[in-house]
Each structure stands twice: as structure tokens, then as C-alpha cells.
Structure 1
């Protein structure tokens, strides 16, 4: 559809994953690729201040957005906002067709919407060990630093944190670990269902542990897979993400081991699907 918007975007890359999956680290690392443009962070306000896109405007349903939400007016405005905010690794503004790299966990619930606005977009799913992810999500909720909707109607404590999933109303009164388990399972299922509807050539996957273990090889592979180059050394360990709550460690999840064991039946089948999807769609560096 020609919406009258100048063609500023060439195959934007959306980095997808559940909250606390390591996607902030991936974004800031990938932003170092020559020719890559980002808005420097996440697009919460950029998207949700467009009338009709905030959960409040939608009866507090969720962060889910469908293709029908990408009206001509919304499409023009969102493309304009992204184009105005994009910068490359040297701080230069976008001019002409650009390769945008975008990461916001809520986008994992918005693939049909994004695909209607950016029909040539590519999608990269970042998988992190679900035990580590759940532990980090519990930590995020408990920290009070990730409260997204503190005035969510008919929701008590703890204040709602991270993305708002469809069916959140059924989570009222559950223990925090169960809320987090359903949050992870819902976003992952929704995302994989949507990705499976896209052409195989537009979806790839990578593992967070491989990014940490072999950052340069992983970035060379990923950048090449989406049509970008790579010219950075990335010697040694990658720096901590700006959203890190406590220092990462491979076994840190064991702080919540008993809680994770109790909620494992909720996440186990979805995790099995995610691991299978990762094996099918990744190419090891």
C-alpha cells in the first residue's frame, strides 16, 4: 500500500524476545554495525503516544496490536517518528533509505501490526535459557524499576511490570512467580505463532548464551544474515546491559529455583517449542 510516506526504510530488523531475554545487550551490540540505525533505546513512548495504541485507549486489553490497527494515519505517523529519531553509531541522523534495528519487548506482541507498516521487515528471535529469564523477570518485578502500568485497573500489588499480555486479568491474585510464568508463556506463544505465518526468509533466531560466549562470531553471522556488515573486534566480554539489576551469572537463577520448579509445568511445553524453533531457524556462527 502506498501511504504517501517517503521510503526511508529498507528491511528494518526487529529484535524479538520475552522481557529480560538479553535483547537490550543485543540491540546495543548490533547498533555498532556499519549502516545500522537505532532510536537509541526502546520505543514505548514513540508507539504508545499515538492515539489508539496505548492499552488505556483499548480498554486495557494488552500490548497486542493487529494489522487492522495499522491505519494509513498510524502508518504515516509511526514511520515519521522512527525516521526522525534514528541515528547511526556515530550519531548521524537518517537520510534516504536506512536499515533500522528496533528492539522493544512489547513488539513481540505486535508482529502483525509491524508487518503491515513495514512489509519487508526481518525478525530475529533471541532465546535465553528460560530459567535465567524467569529468574530475571521475577527480579525485575520485585525491584520496582520496571513498572509499566502502575494504575492498571483492578490490579493490586505488585504493580504491573514489563509487557501487558492478553489475558492478564486471569492473573489477579496469583503468586508473583505464576504471574511471570504466564507472562513469559503468553508472549512466547503469541510471538512464535505470528512468526510462523511469515515467510521463512524473513525470520531467524539466535541464542543468548552463544552471543555471550562468541560475540564477534555471532554478530558477524547475524549482521550478515540481515544484510549488514560487521567491522568491530568485540574482544573479551560484552559490557553489562543498561537494564541490568544485579550482576549476571550462569547459576544466578537458582536464587529462585524452588519457585521456578513450582511453575515449570506452565512454561515447559512452550519452552520445548521455543527450543525447537531456535534449532530450525538459527545458523551457528
Structure 2
């Protein structure tokens, strides 16, 4: 590759979008013109029951297919750094690393209770057609019928669901059907967060630490210039002070605590009981 692939890893609602958008405002840095490319990552494994794809599921054909799409971004935007952000990748870092052994990783984490409150809103969101259409163009043609049926089913499910939720949203965990049957929606979101960060943490223990940069959402939004400067040093990206200032101009710390505020005290206590060890690991 003539460019540096960079994979942002994080649970849903942990600032992954914000971080990607900040980086892609810098010269020579680009990404796909849509939110996530989970359809590309899952091509060839479309019927695998979860997003927890093991590295053994990477065939030479799949590896070539995914790398071709990274090459397209680099070529289309004349990029020297290609940023990729798909939250489900936090469940399959070894799979990603087998596809992109030259990748660098940015691991961003956020208070799991805060992320849970925010994620719950996405499970119950209204249809956003422009958002869907942006992503459709990157769905492999042969996979379109499969995803079309799943999408229609998810929307129909929302109409009749007691919680007014979609049939599925976010990273698909192993045993997801059982989790949805046995836990409330808030608890499902908390378990998604927990599985994502625990899986990523375990995987990064086997990857050279020089290829992984860690940052908390809270630190990033409180000191965006300082944290971005550290990130750019890790990525070997040169940027002027004005470039850095402009790229973080829209970053705000106002969302810290919003997710928690949307939950009752009883719900927070229940969620803490469910994911306490992981919260403690990150100091939350």
C-alpha cells in the first residue's frame, strides 16, 4: 500500500464518528462517503450468525476484496491516510488484522453507562432514508437481496415491538437472539458495549503496542487539540496548528453525561451490576 490504513475501533456511541470526522478534515486523510462499511467487511461471510468473525474466516478472495475498497478510497481522494470506522470491528480485530496487517489502530472508549443511554435512542430511531442511501452504494451487489430482506424485517418489527425498537441494531453479538429475549433494551446496549470493549482489549494484547493508540472519549472532547496532537504524532501526520484547530472546531464536551441523564437511577444501578468489572477497568 502507498498509504497508511487506520482503523478506528470502539463500541457504538463512543465517539468513533466524531474522531473519524475530525481526522478526515486534515489534508491527505480520507474515508468512505458513508457512515460504516460493515457490508464490505462481511462480504463472503454474509450469513455468518454474528459480527464476531474469527480470523480464520479471511480467505484470499475476501482479503483482496476488502483491500480493493481501501485502495479505492486512497485513489479516489488522493489520500495518504485512509481512515476506516465500523463499530462491529471491535468484535473482530484479529479478522481485520489478517486483512490489513499494516494497519494502525485507534482505540477509543467511553463510559459504558453514557454510551448505553445514547445507543438506546438508535435502536428506536425513525427511518433516515438519506443515511441508508449513502450506505447502499457500498453494499456488494450479490448481497443486496439478503440485506434488503433483513432491513424490511427490522423496520416491520419496530411497528409491532413493545419497546418500539428495531429487530437489530449495532454490532451483532454471538447469541444475540437469546440476549434480546432475556434482557431489556438498556441491558442489551450495555452488553453490546461490554462485549465490544472486552473483545477489542483482548485482541490488542496480541498486537504490537506501537500500532495501537488509546484515547478516551472524555479526554478527547475536553482537550481536543492536545489529544489530536498526540494522535497525529502516532500516525506520522504533519498538520499545522491552524489545521488542527479547524479540524476540532466542532468538538464539544456537552454530550458527557447525557446518556446517563436519560436513564433512571434504578436503571443505572441495574446496568452497573451487569457490566461493573468492565466499567472499573476503564475507571468509570
TM-score range, shorter chain: 0.7 to 0.9
Q: CA deviation at 1:30?
A: 0.8
| C-alpha distance in 1 between matches for 2:278 and 2:229 | 29
Change (3 A) 1:13 1:70: same
> Structure 1 pair 240/200, CA: closer, same or farther in 2 (3 Å)?
closer
TM-score of the two chains, using structure 2 as the length reference: 0.78
Structure 1 unmatched ranges of 5 or more = 1-6, 242-246, 277-285
Greater percentage in helix = 2
Maintained 8 Å contact 2:112/2:190: no
Matched, 1:69 2:57: yes
Task: With the length of structure 1 as denominator, give the TM-score of the two structures.
Answer: 0.78
Which structure 2 residues correspond to residues 2-81 of structure 1 after superposition, within 5 A?
Answer: 7-10=1-4, 12-41=5-34, 42-48=36-42, 50=43, 52-54=44-46, 57-58=47-48, 61-81=49-69
Distance 2:218 2:85 in 1: 18
Partner of 2:257: 251
How many Å separate the matches in 2 of 1:240 and 1:9? 27
The equivalent position to 1:203 in structure 2, one of 207, 212, 234, is 212
Per-residue CA deviation, residues 105-147 of structure 1 (Å, 9 max, x unaligned), is: 0111121111111112111111112222111011221224599
Judging changes above 3 Å, is the alpha-carbon distance between structure 1 residues 221 and 107 closer, same or farther for their aligned structure 2 residues?
same
CA contact (8 A) 1:34 1:228 kept: no
Give the Cα separation in 1 of the matches to 2:6 and 2:201: 16
Where in structure 2 are the equivalents of 1:180-219 lying within 5 Å? 180-219=189-228
Find the residue that maps to 2:82 and give its secondary structure.
strand
Structure 2: runs of 5+ lacking an equivalent: 133-146
Q: Distance in 1 between matches of 2:264 and 2:246?
A: 33
Secondary structure of the 1:234 match is helix
Preserved contact between residue 15 and residue 103 of structure 1 (Cα < 8 Å): yes
CA RMSD of aligned residues (A): 2.8
Per-residue deviation, 1:9: 4.2
Partner of residue 236, structure 2: 227
Equivalent residue number for residue 92 of structure 1 = 77
Runs of 4+ in 1 over 6 A off after TM superposition: none
Query: Aligned residues, how many?
Result: 250
Which of 84, 92, 97 pairs up with 1:110?
A: 92
